[in-house]
Amino acid sequence: MAVDISNPTPRATAGPARKTLDKKPALKPRRGARSSVALKILMAVTGLLLVGFLYAHMIGNLKIFFGAESFDHYAHWLRTIAEPLLPHGWFLWIMRFGLVVAVVGHIAAAVILTRRAKLARPVKYAHRPKVQGSYAARTMRWGGVIIVLFVIYHLLDLTTGTLNPAPAGSDPSARVIADFKAEQWYVTLFYVLSIVAVGFHLRHGLFSAVRTLGQRTARGERIARGTALLLSVVLVAGYLSVPFAVLTGLVD
């Protein structure tokens, strides 16, 4: 039997056509986009954990203004936290391990996101326009490198004592004072540059973390920017107060 297809009935075509147009399947986010969001959240969470540690460490450093005995007692107390539940010194090693995991996760997420951003635009502009943004945002990468180098030096200096000019077995306060004497000016200079880099990194990082975690309103953005700037200034001032106190003889 022959079938006439030259003039199909409207009912045969209109129904499916309307169904196709009216009920489009919802677009699912690509796997790469979902993983990028997860990496940004990882950066935000690890960054906030590291900020919490930086503030706790700064408060501990300020104990040197109450005298060497007070500072050394604080340094000894850190090694006795959670005793007898944990053996002597274990809390510090657990904390260090957690910080290493946070730092590695933070850096890995940053590297992956940077590479994805470059791959998303493989062809460079012939005349690339200047990017509008803060100085902190444009120097996040180099600031991160300086901070990593500083952390390595800081551990070899004050934790293990390998690079510290004080005699082996000296008290923690003696190591700090020996570091920032006038003849150790290059150590103080490196410390100042590193802490300033931390401040710029913190200022931009805190604001970015708040945005990543859901802040989108204009008022909230102003509050986040102001809070990030205030916290960064307080952190830098707190850390730099110690070497300048040693240089001026306020702490000796």
**DSSP assignments along 48-115, one per residue:** HHHHHHHHHHHHHHGGGGG-HHHHHHHHHHHTTTTTTTS-TTHHHHHHHHHHHHHHHHHHHHHHHHHH
**Per-residue confidence (pLDDT) for residue 115, from 0 to 100:** 86
Domain 32-122+134-247 = CATH 1.10.10.410: no
pLDDT on residue 113: 87
| Helix residue ranges per DSSP H, 121-217 | 135-138, 140-154, 172-179, 185-212
One pLDDT digit (tens) per residue for the chain, 252 residues: 454 544 554 554 444 544 444 454 544 556 656 788 889 889 889 988 999 999 999 999 999 999 999 999 999 999 999 998 999 989 999 999 999 999 999 989 988 988 887 787 655 544 444 444 445 556 666 777 888 888 899 889 988 888 999 998 889 999 999 999 999 899 999 999 999 989 988 888 888 888 877 777 888 888 888 999 999 999 999 999 999 999 999 998
Question: What pLDDT score does 29 carry?
Answer: 52
